[in-house]
A and B are shown apart, each in its own frame.
Chain A
Amino acid sequence: MVRLITHNMLTCHVRNCTKDNFPLVFSDVELVVREAPENLDFIRRFLPKLDWAALVDTARSLGDESLPGTQPEEFTDEQLRALHHVLMEMHVEEGKMTCRGCGHIYHISNGIPNMLLAEHEVGR
C-alpha cells in the first residue's frame, strides 16, 4: 500500500546518506489501482509539500503519463483529478525501492515496505 503521496515524502535514512537520497527508485513493481474517495481540497492544500519533478518522474516510471512535466500555476479540476489518481489510487504492492545515494534496497512485500536498517546503518 505504498501510495505515491507517501513515496514523495520518503527519503533514505541510512547513516551518512545525505546526497541523492530522494526519491527512492522503484523497480520490479507490481502495481494495483484502488479507488479512493476524492478529496480535491486536500490535494490542493498538499500541493506545496509535493516535489513535483520527483513525482512526475516516479509516475512515468510506473507507466502513468497523465501529469504535465512542469507544475502548472493553476490547476484545473481535470488535472487535480489526474493528480488524485496518481497520489492516492496507485498502490505499489510488491517490488523494491532503491536509494540512489547509498544503494540501500528497501523491499516491499504485501504492500508494506521494510524500512528496518541493520545496526551499522542506523544514524546517530
Chain B
Amino acid sequence: MSRPEEIAPPELFYGDTEAQKYTANSRIKSIQAQMTARALELLALPEDESAFVLDIGCGSGLSGEMLEEEGHVWVGWISRRVCWVKVALEREVEGDLFLHDIGQGFGFRPGTFDGAISISVIQWLLNADSASHSPPQRLARFFTTLHSCLRNPSRAVFQFYPSSDDQVQMIVSAAQRAGFGGGLVVDYPNSRKARKMYLCLMVGQQEVPKGLDGEEMSVEETAKRREEIKNERRRRKESGGRKGKRGKKDVTAKEWILKKKDLYRTRGKEGVPLDSKYTARKRRVQF
C-alpha cells in the first residue's frame, strides 16, 4: 500500500486533483465520514449542548460539516495548501478556517475549546519536509499548545495512520510529555484493512474508552502484548524442535530391534536370531 506521506510533502501531495477527490469520491467521503463519526463518539461531548470544537486539518471541511449537524460551533485549521482553501470555499462551510502549520503551535487563549478532533493528520507531523523541521520538536510544540488551549476536563481525538510502532511510541510519548492523559484506542485490531488507530487524549482525569470489536490497548498493554507474542514464538520454536526429536526417541532400541526382527521373519528372511532376554543388550567389554 502506498503511503501519501512517503510520496511528497502535504503541500505538494494534496494538489488540485487529490484535494478534489475528497469532495468528489464517494468512497473517500464515506470513509472520512465514518472516521469522523467514530472520533466524535470517542470525543464524548455532552449531548444536547453545542460545544466549541477545534478541527485540526479539516481539509475540505467534511468533518466540520458533521460537527455542524450535531449543532457544534467549530474552528478549522487547514494545512498550508491553497487547493484545500478553494475546495473548502466552494463548499461554503460554516466554521472559521485558518491557514496554519500545526507543527508551529497555535495561538489561542487557554481553555478555549471543549474538544478537538483530527482525522488522518498527525502522521504528517512525523515527516521532516525541510531542513529546519525536526519532528520531535514539532510534535512537542503541537501537543503543548493544544493542551493549553483545551478546557479542563476535555478530550482530543486523533485518527492517524502510523507506519510503524516506533511512530506510535513517538507520538504517544510526546503527548504524555505535554501533560495529556489517555492512550490508544484500536478499532478492529485483528483486521488489516479495517484497523483504525485513534489517539484519545485527555485533559484532566478520565477513563480511556473501549475500542470496537476487540479489547482496548493502552500503551503499556500494547508493549506487554508484543512481549508476550515474542515469547510465544520462541516457546513454540523450542518446544516444536524438541517434539520432532522426541518423536523418534520415544521408541527404545529394544522395541526397534524387535520390530525389525518381526518384519524380517514375516518377509521370510533366513537366519533371524531368536528373541531372548539378551536381545538388544550391549556386549560388555571383554578382557
Contacts and interface: CB of A to CB of B under 8 A. Distances in A.
B85 interface: yes
Contacts of B137: 124
A74 interface: no
Given A41-B50, A51-B109, A124-B141, A116 B89 contact: no
A12 B52 CA distance: 20
A5 to B, nearest CB: 7
A13 B97 contact: no
Contact of A113 (B89, B98, B104): B98
How many chain B residues sit at the interface, stated as a range, is 20 to 34
Contacts of A2: 96
A51 B100 CA distance: 24
Contacts of B231: none
B129 interface: no
A116 B100 contact: yes
A104 B149 CA distance: 21
A116 B78 CA distance: 11
A9 B108 CA distance: 5
Interface string B67-105: 000010101001010000100010000111111110011
Contact of B96 (A1, A114, A124): A1
A47 interface: no
Contacts of A42: 49-50, 73
A45 B108 contact: no
Contacts of B73: 5, 42, 88
B17 interface: no
Nearest to B100: A115
Contacts of B268: none
Contacts of A1: 95-97
Contact of A115 (B50, B99, B109, B112): B99
A48 to B, nearest CB: 9
Contacts of B52: 5, 46, 49
Nearest to A39: B50
B145 interface: yes
Contacts of B247: none
Contact of B104 (A39, A41, A112, A116): A116
B85 A110 contact: yes
Nearest to B140: A124
Contact of B98 (A41, A51, A115): A115
Given A39-B71, A42-B73, A110-B89, A10 B108 contact: yes
Nearest to B112: A9
A77 interface: no
A65 B97 CA distance: 26
Contacts of B99: 112-116
A114 B112 CA distance: 20
B106 interface: yes
Contacts of B101: 116-117
Interface string B30-71: 000000000000000000011010000000000000000001
A49 B141 contact: no
A28 interface: no
A122 interface: yes
20 contacts: A1-B95, A1-B97, A5-B96, A6-B75, A9-B112, A9-B149, A11-B109, A39-B50, A39-B71, A42-B73, A45-B49, A49-B111, A112-B99, A113-B99, A115-B98, A116-B104, A117-B104, A122-B141, A123-B105, A124-B141
Ranked nearest first, the 4 interchain pairs of A and B with the lowest CB-CB distance are: A13-B107, A11-B107, A115-B100, A6-B96
